[in-house]
A and B are shown apart, each in its own frame.
Chain A
């Protein structure tokens, strides 16, 4: 019986962390789908949102208001990033865009270091996020449940958006064939702005959950999440939205599994094992689990 509860607990853990990876990976996938850009600065949107929320919390605002402002700040930062850094070089080789995203990362992180000092600050998460809920022998962090529920709701909304609204269908169409979408009258600037806005909003949500999870905020906090999100989207199939979600959950599960199964001496090297698993996967499915080569059927 205890094994069962242990497994259940680990499963909740895995789904919770997987939810965060999935939400992050969606943002990467949406932008990559249309622009072929791996936006490494996506992680810094987490930082922007979290600092905004932190400052407002410290100023005495209620958590709800601070959280909304943080999400809004991430969204706005994403839109500005697109407008200022990526739009001027649209159509440039992929490598130029990738390098630009590194530049944006370096700029944002150093701006944060100048503004807020390089040291981390505690994130005063409200009690309802940090409680441990007890169900019989089972102890679950409320944050895990909230992350799972929030991600679930957002994924449902996102699915409705991309399948039921014209803007969503246009976004998928543009990701598949930008030229054909333009010939149908899709406004490229608008679709790309949509992709950045939605992805950045999700990053803002992840930022709050992430900050509450690790209990602190620092200028470089976006690095890990974006790296994990990148791995997740490669696992699922780069550019595929369902792939990004699946990859997020697979990565979360893999990490928790390794955490539990590896001998204690090896757990510090858990990520190395994760990357070995990724390499093995890519040997067999170079396009990821859901990555297809449907593009051209001649």
Chain B
């Protein structure tokens, strides 16, 4: 479904991605793990068309994403829920959700998806006419995921959905991620919280300073002593 081949990205002179190669099959939940600055968010921003690779190919459902504008990539169903939530604080919860479907022209489908988001995150229905800024951190993360779902993703890219949230909320968010996975949504999940991510993922890639250093199924990675030591060794892995 999605394939990156030898993708190189620079921030000015800084070589941020040094030849990333990875693949996501339809229906898979793939985790992208690594420390701060490993290039996880850069990878997602490059897939989304916000950053452009200097070298390499990104194919998604047979199309070359490096030549398609960011808004067209959204229309193709590759949706990113960015790090730090980035909800629109001055817009109401309803307007935020509606923004997720900004490119859609099927009002009935949008309405159906709105109901679906409310079943996943009932709290959003109660907050519908509050501004996004008045929500708690956890509610904002739910809104950010709900907003991304309103775009009807075929590939959902989640960037650090558990960042800065209380353990109970993290659990709730990961429950929903698992639910989405079960419903067949293809997911590329970026996490620093490796333990949590490996519990839900099918496969994972491990990034270090712009390179993929390890990849494999969750079983393989969990059995790897290095992963165990560096990423699962602590109590939380963050």
Contacts and interface: CB of A to CB of B under 8 A. Distances in A.
Interface residues of B, number: 27
Interface in B90-142: 90-91, 95, 98-100, 102-103, 133, 140
Interface in A182-210: 182-188
Interface string B146-171: 01000100000000000010000000
A179 B98 contact: no
Among A176, A177, A183, A294, chain B packs the most CB atoms within 10 A around the CB of A183
B64 to A, nearest CB: 19
Contacts of A170: 99, 102
Contact of B102 (A166, A188, A295): A166
B166 to A, nearest CB: 15
A297 B164 CA distance: 12
A297 B144 CA distance: 14
B88 A180 contact: yes
B141 to A, nearest CB: 12
Contacts of B87: 180
A30 to B, nearest CB: 14
A186 B48 CA distance: 13
Contact of B91 (A166, A173, A297): A173
Contact of B90 (A166, A176, A185): A176
B89 A185 contact: no
Among B71, B133, B140, chain A packs the most CB atoms within 10 A around the CB of B71
Interface of A is mostly: helix
A172 interface: yes
Interface in B60-105: 69-71, 74-75, 79-80, 82, 86-91, 95, 98-100, 102-103
Contacts of B164: 298
Contacts of B82: 179-180, 183
Nearest to B76: A185
Interface residues of A, number: 21
A187 B68 CA distance: 12
A11 interface: no
Nearest to A185: B74
A155 interface: no
B91 A169 contact: yes
Contact of A177 (B75, B86, B98): B86
Given A172-B90, A297-B133, A182 B98 contact: no
Contacts of A179: 50, 82, 86
B102 A185 contact: yes
Contact of A186 (B71, B95, B133, B147): B71
Contacts of A183: 48, 50, 70, 74, 79-80, 82, 86
Given A173-B88, A173-B99, A179-B50, A184 B151 contact: yes
A297 B95 CA distance: 18
Contacts of A177: 86, 88
Contacts of B103: 184-185
A165 to B, nearest CB: 11
A288 to B, nearest CB: 15
Nearest to B131: A294
A182 B50 contact: yes
Contacts of B88: 172-173, 176-177, 180-181
26 contacts: A169-B98, A169-B99, A169-B102, A172-B88, A172-B90, A173-B91, A173-B95, A173-B99, A176-B90, A179-B82, A179-B86, A180-B86, A180-B88, A182-B50, A183-B82, A183-B86, A184-B99, A184-B102, A184-B103, A184-B147, A185-B102, A185-B151, A186-B71, A186-B102, A297-B89, A297-B140
Interface of B: 48, 50, 69-71, 74-75, 79-80, 82, 86-91, 95, 98-100, 102-103, 133, 140, 147, 151, 164
Given A169-B102, A182-B71, A184-B103, 5 more contacts: A176-B90, A183-B70, A183-B79, A184-B102, A185-B70
